[in-house]
Amino acid sequence: MGLIDELNSLKKKYRLDASMSSMRAVGYRQVWEYLEGRYDKEALREKALAATRQLAKRQLTWLRSFPDLLRLDAGGAQDPAVALHLLLDEGRQLLGR
């Protein structure tokens, strides 16, 4: 919400270029191309969703490279108190206490 207006405002305020790393971020890249007239708002939505899914997949692949990673399901049944206790227990184990 508001990303199109945000990027429009940034483009007016600063000398931005599509090749800048900040403008290649997921969401910004797609909005930039939309503002350049490369596609319509529906295509922008689809491209931004696809890019977000791809980023999430890459992040999950990277996280799987950590075999001892404690994983909590943010949408799961664990309430904040349970999650906090799990994290504290992990921290204690790491510190040897």
Q: Let me know if domain 3-63 sits in CATH 3.10.129.10.
A: no
Q: Where do the domains of the chain lie?
A: 3-63, 67-97
Give the global pTM: 0.67
Q: What is the mean pLDDT of the chain?
A: 88
Distance (Å, whole) CA 20 – CA 11:
12
CA angle 21-23-25, nearest 5°?
A: 80
User: For 10-48, how does the pLDDT look when each residue is reduced to its tens digit (9 = 90+)?
Assistant: 999 999 988 898 888 999 999 999 999 999 999 999 999
pLDDT of residue 91: 84
Q: Is the pLDDT of residue 83 over 80?
A: no
